[in-house]
């Protein structure tokens, strides 16, 4: 009984003591939003090695742990621990709270975060938001924190935070591409001052596996490569040009081993000039020219081959392959650094309105295939692939195809506006309100026999689907079942001749055609509405189409 009482007293005493310190088991205060941009925080980060043991505030701890918990979990699991002067706590990212874990206390800095997980890469992905959140505390009601990732003397690498103020924020850009604008390999200056808010970006991180296939601009590519592994305004204590990521002893393990794969081919990213001199700064890409392309010789686009070769890789317009030199493979610091780069790319992609995905745990067969497809250096061993692109809307994408009339329709005449609507089955498709309406533009199908386009983000279900173009009647297909991720819908032949866009082909349309009879495109009286076959001349071919569809009316039922 006495023992139980003393235990209770000891616990009570500990509880009082703990309240005097920075941490309590239980809920943490909500993170504060500083409104500092992702870019300014990336440009301002640096590692500080001698960290004060002055206590951190609960708010500082809250912002840092919250940010660490925002990163997507890669690998099978991740536990985040806060190591404080009073003990070690397990952080719960769902409830934003701490629970007691062990008596281990910090012997360096104000507190540290450390991880248990399947992958060192994963710890790196989660370190970066925490680190940037600590930088961002500058210019808020809380002081910024200095930090440093350390491993020596510990069982597991940790990110240690000191309560002393850092150097503050800077938008000064010290790196510019050594390749002149307009020449191959040039990258435009990255922005160091976005108008986003780091914390708001972290709330809405776009970690996705479904992208629309819109190619990235060179400015977007420049920004993402810089965020991942670009030079900042900082110089390290051993005289090297600092990067947006920390690196043990400023070793910079990924120097020259980051590759970009886009619609134009494969490129190696360089942040140094000369490439191996870590005291220099650069920002350029070098095309890998020795790509062997099967089939067409004109294309260096290997994205489809890459996608086919790597299980679980999403289809994306842009890939970044993070490699390690074979001498670094398996080293914890080096693997951690691949996670830093990926984490930054996710944060920056989100700030640009793009999505991001990480493919990890590549098999040795996949690594060999990646090297063969991209022709990258044999000593550069792929560790992870970062996919980047616009986020595909949730729901199904619907591939629409229609046949366009007119024997003399030129190639350009297959590119037409197409209004596609999705209705509840049985709806009045002429006057009713659709569930979805898309103003699309067609392209000629690869086979050349149809005009095709894509409607994105349709919730799976059954719909009456309609389509019409500028001078056609409306076709309808009833009770079409749409399922994710993709459904193809053939909406049949669109009937030409409806010049005035009402729902019938009749004398009104003929009257419009007769006023511009035999007009060609250059003439003032030319009226595109009656150039039904889009060949730039209004003649007997157009009249024949109108006559063939005479008195037909919308909606034209397409049965199958």
Per-residue burial over 397-406, b if 16 or more Cβ lie within 10 Å, else e, is bbebbbebbb
Beta bridge mates, 40: none
What distance in Å separates the CA atoms of residue 210 and residue 202, rounded to the nearest whole number? Answer: 19
Minimum distance from residue 500 beta carbon to Ca ion (Å) = 5
CB of 447 to Ca ion, least distance (A): 23
Q: How far apart are CA 146 and CA 246, in angstroms?
A: 12
Indicate whether 554 belongs to the interface with Ca ion (CB under 5 A).
no
Provide the b/e sequence for 38-71 (b: ≥16 CB within 10 Å): bbbbbbbbbbbeebbeebbbebbbbbbbbbbbbb
Asked whether the beta carbons of 153 and 90 are under 8 A apart, the reply is no
Q: CB–CB of 199/33 below 8 Å?
A: yes
Least distance between Ca ion and beta carbon 186 (Å): 45
Q: Of 535, 549, 554, 555, which lies in the binding site for Ca ion, with binding defined by CB under 5 A?
A: 535
Q: Rule CB under 5 A: is residue 531 a binding residue for Ca ion?
A: yes
When asked if residue 496 is in the footprint of Ca ion (CB under 5 A), the reply is no
Using the minimum distance from each CB to Ca ion, give the nearer residue, 293 or 504: 504
Stretch that binds Ca ion, among 236-244, 464-472, 491-499, 510-518 (CB under 5 A): 491-499
Q: Is 500 in the site for Ca ion (CB under 5 A)?
A: yes
Six-digit token pair at 477?
A: 């297909």
Q: Is 24 in the site for Ca ion (CB under 5 A)?
A: no
When the beta carbons of 235 and 553 are compared against Ca ion, the nearer one is: 553
Six-digit token pair at 493?
A: 């032949």
Number of other residues whose CB lies within 10 A of the CB of residue 130: 25
CB of 414 to Ca ion, least distance (A): 14
469 lines the binding site for Ca ion (CB under 5 A)? no
To Ca ion, the closest distance from the beta carbon of 411 in angstroms equals 15
CA 511 vs CA 334, 346, 474, 516, 550: distances in Å: 75, 58, 21, 9, 13
Examine residue 332 and tell whether it contacts Ca ion (CB under 5 A). no
d(CA 287, CA 361): 27
Tell the smallest beta-carbon distance from residue 507 to Ca ion (Å). Answer: 9
Task: State how far the Cα of 508 lies from the Cα of 527, in Å rounded to an integer.
Answer: 14
Residue in 271, 246, 251, 262 with CA at minimum distance from that of residue 344: 246
- Give the shortest CB-519-to-Ca ion separation in angstroms: 10
Cβ proximity to Ca ion, 320 vs 545, nearer residue? 545
170 binds Ca ion (CB under 5 A): no
Provide, rounded to whole angstroms, the least separation between the CB of residue 404 and Ca ion: 12
- Residues 263/310/332/381 CA torsion (nearest 10 deg): -70
How many residues make contact with Ca ion (CB under 5 A)?
A: 8
Nearer to Ca ion by C-beta: 10 or 548?
548
Closest CB to Ca ion among 122 and 542? 542
Cβ nearer to Ca ion, comparing 42 with 538: 538
The least distance separating Ca ion from the CB of residue 438, rounded to whole angstroms, comes to 23
Distance, in Å, from the CA atom of 454 to the CA atom of 489, rounded to the nearest integer, reads 10
Toward Ca ion, which CB reaches closer, 142 or 531?
Answer: 531
| Contact flags string 29-58 toward Ca ion, x per CB under 5 A | ------------------------------
- Rounded to the nearest 5°, which phi and psi values hold at 384? -160, 155
**Residue at token pair 């992208």:** 211
Helix pair angle (332-351, 218-229), 10° resolution: 140
Q: By rule CB under 5 A, what string of x and - marks binding of each residue 297-326 to Ca ion?
A: ------------------------------
Contact with Ca ion (CB under 5 A): which of 34, 498, 549, 554?
A: 498
Q: What is the largest CA-CA distance in the chain?
A: 110
What gap in Å lies between CA 510 and CA 500, rounded to an integer?
10
Contact flags string 188-227 toward Ca ion, x per CB under 5 A = ----------------------------------------
Q: Out of 108, 120, 496, 533, name the contact with Ca ion by CB under 5 A.
A: 533
Q: What is the nearest approach in angstroms of Ca ion to the Cβ of residue 264?
A: 37
Cβ atoms of residues 451 and 502 within 8 Å: no
Among 157, 234, 509, 513, binds Ca ion (CB under 5 A): 509
CB of 558 to Ca ion, least distance (A): 20
| Cα separation, 336 vs 20, whole angstroms | 35
Which CB, 147 or 554, lies closer to Ca ion? 554
The one segment of 231-239, 434-442, 532-540, 549-557 that binds Ca ion by CB under 5 A: 532-540
- Closest approach of Cβ 431 to Ca ion, in Å? 16
Q: Which stretch binds Ca ion (CB under 5 A): 33-41, 257-265, 414-422, 500-508?
A: 500-508
3-state per-residue secondary structure call for 407-427: CCCCHHHHCCEEEEEEECCCC
Could you say which of 502, 514, 517, 525 contacts Ca ion (CB under 5 A)? 502
Q: 10 Å Cβ neighbour count for 365?
A: 11
63 contacts Ca ion (rule: CB under 5 A): no
Please state, in angstroms and rounded to a whole number, the distance separating the CA atoms of residues 261 and 304: 11
414 vs 422, beta carbon nearer Ca ion: 414
Q: Are strands 443-444 and 318-325 parallel, antiparallel or unpaired?
A: unpaired
Residue 530 within binding range of Ca ion, rule CB under 5 A? no
Least distance to Ca ion, CB of residue 400, Å: 23
**Applying CB under 5 A, does 517 fall inside the site for Ca ion?**
no
Q: Which is nearer to Ca ion, 337 or 533 (CB)?
A: 533
Cβ count within 10 A of residue 508? 12
Strand pairing of 451-458 and 396-404?
antiparallel
And the tokens for 361?
Answer: 């745990």
Check residue 542 for interaction with Ca ion (CB under 5 A).
yes
Residues that bind Ca ion (CB under 5 A): 498, 500, 502, 509, 531, 533, 535, 542
């Amino acid at each position: 009984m006495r023992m139980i009482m003393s235990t209770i007293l000891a616990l009570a005493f500990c509880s009082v003591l703990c309240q005097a310190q920075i941490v309590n088991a239980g809920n943490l205060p909500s993170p504060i939003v500083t409104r500092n941009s992702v870019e300014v925080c990336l440009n301002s980060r640096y590692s500080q090695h001698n960290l004060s043991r002055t206590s951190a505030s609960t708010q500082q701890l809250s912002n840092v742990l919250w940010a660490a918990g925002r990163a997507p979990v890669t690998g099978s699991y991740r536990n985040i621990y806060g190591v404080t002067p009073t003990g070690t706590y397990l952080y719960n990212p769902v409830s934003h709270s701490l629970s007691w874990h062990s008596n281990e206390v910090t012997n360096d800095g104000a507190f540290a975060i450390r991880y248990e997980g399947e992958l060192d890469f994963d710890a790196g992905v989660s370190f970066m938001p925490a680190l940037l959140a600590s930088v961002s505390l500058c210019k808020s009601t809380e002081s910024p924190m200095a930090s440093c990732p350390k491993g020596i003397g510990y069982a597991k690498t940790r990110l240690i935070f000191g309560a002393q103020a850092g150097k503050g924020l800077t938008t000064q850009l010290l790196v510019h591409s050594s390749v002149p604008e307009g020449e191959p390999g040039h990258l435009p200056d990255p922005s160091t001052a976005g108008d986003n808010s780091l914390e708001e970006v972290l709330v809405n991180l776009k970690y996705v596996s479904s992208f629309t296939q819109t190619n990235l601009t060179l400015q977007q590519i420049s920004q993402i490569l810089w965020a991942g592994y670009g030079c900042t305004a900082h110089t390290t204590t051993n005289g090297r040009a600092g990067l947006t990521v920390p690196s043990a002893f400023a070793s910079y393990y990924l120097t020259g081993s980051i590759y970009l794969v886009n619609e134009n081919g494969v490129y190696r990213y360089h942040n140094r000039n000369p490439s191996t001199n870590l005291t220099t700064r650069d920002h350029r890409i070098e095309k890998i020219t020795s790509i062997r392309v099967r089939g067409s010789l004109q294309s260096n686009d290997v994205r489809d081959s890459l996608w086919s070769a790597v299980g679980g890789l999403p289809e994306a317009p842009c890939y970044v392959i993070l490699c390690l030199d074979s001498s670094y493979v398996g080293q914890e610091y080096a693997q951690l650094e691949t996670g830093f780069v990926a984490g930054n790319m996710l944060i920056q992609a989100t700030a640009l309105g793009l999505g991001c995905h990480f493919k990890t745990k590549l098999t040795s067969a996949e690594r060999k295939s990646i090297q063969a497809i991209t022709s990258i250096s044999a000593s550069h061993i792929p560790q992870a692939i970062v996919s980047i692109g616009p986020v595909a809307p949730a729901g199904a994408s619907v591939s629409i195809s229609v046949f366009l009339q007119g024997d003399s329709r030129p190639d350009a005449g297959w590119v037409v506006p197409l209004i596609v609507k999705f209705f509840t089955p049985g709806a009045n498709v002429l006057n009713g309100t659709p569930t979805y309406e898309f103003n699309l533009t067609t392209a000629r199908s690869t086979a050349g026999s149809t005009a095709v386009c894509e409607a994105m983000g349709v919730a799976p279900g059954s719909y009456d689907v309609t389509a019409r173009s500028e001078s056609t009647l409306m076709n309808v297909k009833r009770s079409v079942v749409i399922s994710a991720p993709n459904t193809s819908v053939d909406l049949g032949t669109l009937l030409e001749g409806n010049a005035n866009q009402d729902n019938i082909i009749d004398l009104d349309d003929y009257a419009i055609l007769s006023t511009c009879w035999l007009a060609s495109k250059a003439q003032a009286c030319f009226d595109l509405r009656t150039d039904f076959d889009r060949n730039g001349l209004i003649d007997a071919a157009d009249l024949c189409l109108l006559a063939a569809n005479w008195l037909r009316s919308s909606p034209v039922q397409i049965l199958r």
